[in-house]
């Protein structure tokens, strides 16, 4: 199997690098990261300590079998357009936020899987990615159910050492992940704190309120997600990744556009009842983006 990882930033490089221990991988990203991998391989540090030599390019290879999309949510359309000409057996989205799978389906003819990945990753320098925390990968058809494609790709992840689950209930899992991201990403980014600061005090109150509202909106959209499950999962992730800086916090530190529209913004957009915490969080991050000339 030839896997193309489209979006070789921190997480994409980590996922692709580990997959490269068991299958052919091409990392598609930007220079100087791509050039560094081409010259010296990809060095994985932290919880993972190895150097691998996947293919690396700035455009997807024509002979790829599977594409794994790891770009930011606002780049999903561009990713779909780049992958659409390929004769792929399938596409897996391992992205934050909601709506990515629908965007890919609207552009590409290949079947689309949804996935979640709880590994932590940080791009240290071109060609070097730190694994800041081990986790698991869950994947399956984005509308739920079972497919041979999901089983095949799940086996590929398992063979590469990932703790992998092939799930039949991806819609609920995606909303659970959204609750976690809504409760952790923007609050830590706005407060400029590590994830662990959300496990107690006012940080905990804010994280649980955002997660609770997300569960409420999930149920409005016929997804069975209780407040308790959403809150417990959010606090559990915050505790397990206490020393980490969330991806949105990293984006703001770097002066980059965030994924607020696909996370807290999505909760606001599809809600049929009031979601004041997510609405306020969304407005604050969008205000910062406007001030930076990113919107």
Q: How far apart are CA 101 and CA 189, in angstroms?
A: 25
Q: Is 146 a catalytic site residue?
A: no
Q: Strand, coil or helix: what is 89? A: coil
Across the beta sheet with 128-133, the strand order is 50-52, 42-46, 128-133, 120-125
Q: How far apart are CA 163 and CA 273, in angstroms?
A: 37
Q: Strand, coil or helix: what is 46? A: strand
Q: Which H helix or E strand runs over 106?
A: helix 100-107
Angle at 193 between CA 192 and CA 195, to 5 degrees: 135
Q: Which H helix or E strand runs over 116?
A: strand 112-117
DSSP string, 151-177: HHHHHHHHHTT--EEE-S-HHHHHHHH
- What are the CA-CA distances from residue 33 to residues 38, 58, 116, 131 (Å)? 9, 10, 24, 16
Structure tokens at 235: 């606090």
| Length of the chain in terms of residues written | 295
Choose, from 72, 146, 177, 240, the residue flagged as catalytic.
177
Residue 242, C-beta contacts closer than 8 angstroms, at least 6 positions apart: 194, 195, 196, 199
Closest CA to 46 of 219, 244, 182, 178: 244
Residues marked active site are found at: 177
């Amino acid at each position: 199997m030839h896997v193309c990882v489209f979006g070789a930033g921190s997480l994409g490089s980590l996922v692709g690098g580990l997959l490269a221990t068991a299958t052919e991988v091409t990392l598609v990203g930007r220079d100087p990261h791509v050039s560094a991998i081409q010259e010296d391989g990809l060095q994985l540090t932290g919880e993972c300590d190895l150097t691998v030599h996947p293919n690396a390019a700035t455009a997807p290879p024509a002979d790829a079998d599977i594409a794994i999309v790891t770009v930011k949510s606002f780049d999903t359309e561009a990713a779909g357009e780049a992958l659409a000409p390929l004769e792929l057996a399938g596409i897996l989205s391992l992205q934050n936020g909601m709506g990515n799978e629908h965007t890919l389906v609207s552009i590409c003819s290949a079947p689309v899987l949804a996935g979640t990945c709880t590994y932590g990753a940080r791009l240290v320098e071109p060609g070097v990615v730190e694994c800041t925390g081990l986790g698991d990968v869950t994947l399956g058809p984005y509308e739920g159910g079972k497919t041979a494609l999901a089983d095949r790709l799940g086996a590929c992840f398992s063979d590469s050492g990932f703790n992998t689950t092939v799930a039949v209930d991806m819609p609920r899992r995606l909303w659970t992940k959204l609750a976690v991201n809504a409760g952790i990403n923007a609050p830590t980014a706005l407060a400029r704190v590590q994830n662990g600061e959300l496990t107690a005090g006012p940080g905990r109150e804010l994280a649980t309120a955002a997660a609770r509202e997300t569960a409420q909106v999930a149920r409005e959209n016929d997804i069975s997600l209780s407040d308790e499950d959403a809150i417990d999962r959010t606090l559990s992730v915050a505790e397990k990744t206490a020393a980490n800086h969330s991806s949105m916090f990293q984006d703001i530190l770097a002066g980059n556009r965030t994924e607020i529209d696909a996370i807290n913004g999505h909760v606001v957009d599809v809600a049929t009842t009031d979601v004041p915490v997510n609405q306020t969080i969304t407005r604050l991050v969008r205000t910062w983006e406007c001030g930076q000339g990113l919107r």
